[in-house]
Structure 1
Amino acid sequence: MRLTPATIDPGPVDPALLWEHGQHRIDSVWTNEAGDRSYHVRGTTSLVTYHELYRPYLEAAGLLSVMPLVPMNSDASLITALVERWRPKSSTFHIPFGEITITLEDVVTLSGLAIDGDAVVVDIPDEEWSAICLRLLGRVPADLSGGVGVVRNVWLRDEFSHLPGNASQEVIEQFARAYALSLMGGVLFPDRSGATVHLQYLLLIEDWQRAGRFAWGAAVLSYLYRETDRSTLHITHTGTSLGGDLGGWVALLQFWAWERFPHLAPRHSETRAHISEDASPRGLRWLSANNRQYGDQLFQYKLWFDAMDTVVWQPYLERALQLRGSVIQSETFRAVVPLICFSSVMWHHPDRVLRQFGMRQHGGRQ
């Protein structure tokens, strides 16, 4: 007998528990509406060119570790296969062994960004966005809308990629802000379009010393959770399709997948094998794979995840043992806390993936 979607009930058994299942991409895959189309994962081609004079500002802000990790090519097929297993209610991927997810431990280890500190949110001053842009960047784009407060990443690249040779300290600082803003709009917090960045992020780096107190890593994870949630919604509550774009720092998710699923990772000959296992940030060890060309392998990835028999629950175990005395950091890794990035407030649920911390998963979440 030929099996069709009508002869097999894919679930869920109780729709009250997964009431948004009909809007999830996996439902459209089952009904063959999505087919085998991968998400469109945008690159980081509109970044402002880095200058060494920006280093002290980025270091003070706690963003310097990100700079060597970009740009990075993404494997859209791998990311799509992962997103199809993502569940927004739990912020975890469902695999044959249970649940697994990217946590604060992964973020700080792979990116070097701080995960403990002030929430990434600031008061919006009673000031026109054009005035804020002029005050902090020294110039204003002609198409800046007064009420919207977004600038194009391409405008940042075109205006701030060539630091004048006789630049004053004020101009250097403005250009450094433009570079940091392009990192936020193109790497850390890109939306699905990848075309613009909100000037609210510029306010975060108005004071470099204050910027250094932000929990950037927690904000990146919050934003990635939210964008992954959105990308799973094949159909919204209004009946419109969200399309096939994915926002957030997708390369970070790719690093995470390569660490957890080594069978899917580039061969050691393609990576920087000479970089120490405890290099910081650990994402550096994957940069040589940036020259790798990714084909359409979505179907193969789906088959692998269905039949997978290998997962590395603790890829950073040696590093964790070295940091065993850092009780505070260990507690942060396992903290059930809200992750905040302006209006994005997502929950960090390491209690659902205790095996990632060398612990036994308690009943009901195995």
Structure 2
Amino acid sequence: MAKDHSQSICQLIRHEKLVSPKDGKTIVGTVRSLKPCVQTMSQAATIPNAPLLFEIFSQQQNLEKWPDSVEIKGWHAPQKHWEEWVDGMARKYGALWYQAGICDAIMSSTYEIRCNKDLILGLVEFWCPETNTFVFPWAEATVTLEDVMILGGFSTLGDSVRRPLEGKLVKVEEDMNKKRLVLSRSKSKKATHSCWIKHFMESNEEYEHVAFLSLWLTRYVFPSLPEKIVAKQVFPTAIHLSSNTRMALSQAVLASLYKNLTLFKHKAVSCPKQITVSGLLKLLQLWAFEHFPSLGPTIPNTLKPGEPRAARFHRSNAKINLQLVTSVLRLPDNFIWRPYIVDLKNWVHPSYYKQTQFITFYCNDRDEDLKSFGKCLYASMLVGLDCKEEYLPQRVAMQLGYDQDLPDAFPGCSIPLEKVRFAALPRSFKPCVSVRYFNWWTKLISTRKTALRDIKRNVFDVKKPSTTMHGVKTSDSTINNSVGSFASVAYDSDADNMPLSQRMKHVACHFKTTGSPRAHNGNVRKRKFSIFAGRSKATTTLPFHGSSAGGQMNGGGGSESDRKRAVKEG
């Protein structure tokens, strides 16, 4: 019998203490977590000390948060004649698109997702560039490869988008560059999207399919490239796809999204008056609608047979503002860990979503759904057209249906994907968190809150001789020792007009979390747990209710009363 040289990317530890998402009690069972993970808090890859935008904004409620002007470029609606061109190309190349894994992605580009800027801003406030995750008060979450695969329709399988052209395909790229140059000599002096679609739809040229894919990649897949101009950087990818070569577009799209979220945060710090960002932030909004249903439309569209998942939110409007967004994001009950396990009319579950069956899977399996899901679980370096980003699913294991354990850092030496195996957990499986992870997270949040209190006291609090409060003359020490209200803190009058970039500069110098979470001893107490913003007292509420399978998904109502309640509680 041949030896099995495969290695599992899932770790099973029996007889471990877990926190149950059903009732908040500790139970003893088997931890099924994603590698790389560790067993002691001193080894865990903690969250960097740099403050999040939300942490600063929450401390300085009377100051302006975002600049007056925030422009999001690259959020394109389907252009004139685009749907007509898609229909014409689908009749010719639909079978090829299916084989190349881009059929749903192309069809998704015909639907209009309307931008809600406040939703995007609210999410950016929680973005941590060092981990490529949103660090909410209750846990980490992020856009995973599974989200990109299901919501965007992009393939996780295939060659890198940086794969060079060879042989006859090099000549095709040369010809495409010549055509682009000719169009650049038009009145506009640019190969604009409108000029491109008009020329190739009417001319019926030899490379019409390559031209079609080039416009699709530029406008709907990598919109952070020069706006409204067909980018020559996408020609190699378009040529490979037209030749029935599958490309790993999910990895490239997610790398670009991570990069643009980080740029967004950095610009918020460095640009006091105006911010201009780009990228496929439309995908981020779809992610938020699925995982935070109360932030999406009250009643999403019903999918028609064959429609991609994104069609649920075609031309939908969500009546939300930034205050509501941040309130909803702060509450764990509003988050749905596994939105895709729920039955949805006219949407077919991927084959790895079995109802009750455990599947031991190898990445050389013939089932493409299973192979694709294996990529989603695998910590890796995402390769984009112009960037590389770390992908750390072990930090958000519950989003992928696994128990959350202490995450390790990005592996220096990864397991070759061909030798990877894992157990695909059923839809009925309810992920938990290990007790050591709970203790680690509680300590981490506590130390961050302590650091923020130090910032408020050392950076923004200004001593004044005396202050009158409700007609009573009091000293500054009396005011600063008042309990439970930011309004009792005295601010420098100049600080009211201090730009975010200047405030963040001060905060970065003072944000030091002494007593690192890694040094916590992890003692376990037999009681019920909560990690609401690092709250340490015993409680019967657990912030992972959204992990329940089937119809037990909290926060999915989206009614006006639910939203008002969320604002009040937040």
User: Where on the TM-score scale, by shorter chain, does this alignment land: which range?
Assistant: 0.7 to 0.9
Please say if residues 227 and 246 of structure 1, whose CA atoms lie closer than 8 Å, have aligned partners that are also in contact. yes
Q: Which moved more, 1:60-69 or 1:328-337?
A: 60-69
Question: 1:54-69 maps to which residues of 2 (within 5 A)?
Answer: 54-55=89-90, 56=93, 58-59=97-98, 61-69=100-108
Distance in 1, Cα, partners of 2:243 & 2:293: 39
Q: Residues 308, 51 of structure 1: CA spacing in aligned structure 2 closer, same or farther, 3 A cutoff?
A: closer
Task: Map Cα deviations across residues 241-283 of structure 1 (whole Å, 9 max, x no partner).
Answer: 6943332222221111111111112122xx332547xx77322
Letter in 2 for 1:153: H
Distance in 2, Cα, partners of 1:206 & 1:42: 23
Please say if residues 84 and 232 of structure 1, whose CA atoms lie closer than 8 Å, have aligned partners that are also in contact. yes
Question: 1:196-215 maps to which residues of 2 (within 5 A)?
Answer: 196-208=229-241, 210=243, 212-215=245-248
In structure 1, the partner of 2:64 is 32
Q: Residues 46, 108 of structure 1: CA spacing in aligned structure 2 closer, same or farther, 3 A cutoff?
A: closer
In structure 2, the partner of 1:317 is 341
Equivalent residue for 1:109, pick from 139, 150, 159: 150
In structure 2, the partner of 1:133 is 176
Please say if residues 38 and 298 of structure 1, whose CA atoms lie closer than 8 Å, have aligned partners that are also in contact. no
Deviation at 1:176, TM superposition (A): 2.6
With normalisation by structure 2, the TM-score equals: 0.50
Task: Map Cα deviations across residues 70-124 of structure 1 (whole Å, 9 max, x no partner).
Answer: 3322222111111111111111112222100010111112222110221111338
Q: CA RMSD in A?
A: 3.7
Task: Map Cα deviations across residues 31-77 of structure 1 (whole Å, 9 max, x no partner).
Answer: 52525765535431574622433220644543321232233222221
* Greater C-alpha Rg: 2
Deviation at 1:138, TM superposition (A): 9.1
- Structure 2: 5+ residue runs without aligned partners? 1-46, 343-348, 364-369, 407-436, 442-570
Distance in 1, Cα, partners of 2:381 & 2:219: 24
In structure 1, the partner of 2:313 is 286
In structure 1, the partner of 2:290 is 259
Equivalent residue for 1:174, pick from 187, 207, 217: 207
Distance in 1, Cα, partners of 2:100 & 2:178: 19
Aligned to 1:89, the other structure's residue is in SS state: coil
Aligned to 2:140, the other structure's residue is in SS state: strand
Please say if residues 25 and 232 of structure 1, whose CA atoms lie closer than 8 Å, have aligned partners that are also in contact. no
In structure 2, the partner of 1:8 is none
In structure 1, the partner of 2:462 is none
2:279 counterpart of 1:272: no
Distance in 2, Cα, partners of 1:241 & 1:139: 41
Letter in 2 for 1:206: I
Aligned to 2:207, the other structure's residue is in SS state: helix
Distance in 2, Cα, partners of 1:42 & 1:90: 25
Question: 1:1-366 maps to which residues of 2 (within 5 A)?
Answer: 17-19=48-50, 21=51, 27=56, 30=60, 32=64, 34=66, 39-40=71-72, 42-45=74-77, 47=79, 49=82, 50-55=85-90, 56=93, 58-59=97-98, 61-70=100-109, 71-123=112-164, 131-134=174-177, 139-142=182-185, 151-160=191-200, 162-164=201-203, 167=204, 171=205, 173-191=206-224, 194-208=227-241, 210=243, 212-234=245-267, 243-268=274-299, 271-275=300-304, 281-287=308-314, 290=315, 292-293=316-317, 297-307=321-331, 309-317=333-341, 319=349, 320-322=352-354, 325=359, 327=361, 328=363, 329=370, 330-363=373-406, 366=441
Letter in 1 for 2:391: H
Aligned to 1:244, the other structure's residue is in SS state: strand
- Structure 1: 5+ residue runs without aligned partners? 1-15, 145-149
Q: Residues 131, 142 of structure 1: CA spacing in aligned structure 2 closer, same or farther, 3 A cutoff?
A: farther
With normalisation by structure 1, the TM-score equals: 0.75
Q: When the two structures are aligned, how many residues end up with a matched partner?
A: 327
Deviation at 1:300, TM superposition (A): 2.1
Q: Which moved more, 1:182-191 or 1:115-124?
A: 115-124
Q: Residues 143, 242 of structure 1: CA spacing in aligned structure 2 closer, same or farther, 3 A cutoff?
A: farther
Deviation at 1:191, TM superposition (A): 1.3
Distance in 1, Cα, partners of 2:131 & 2:176: 38
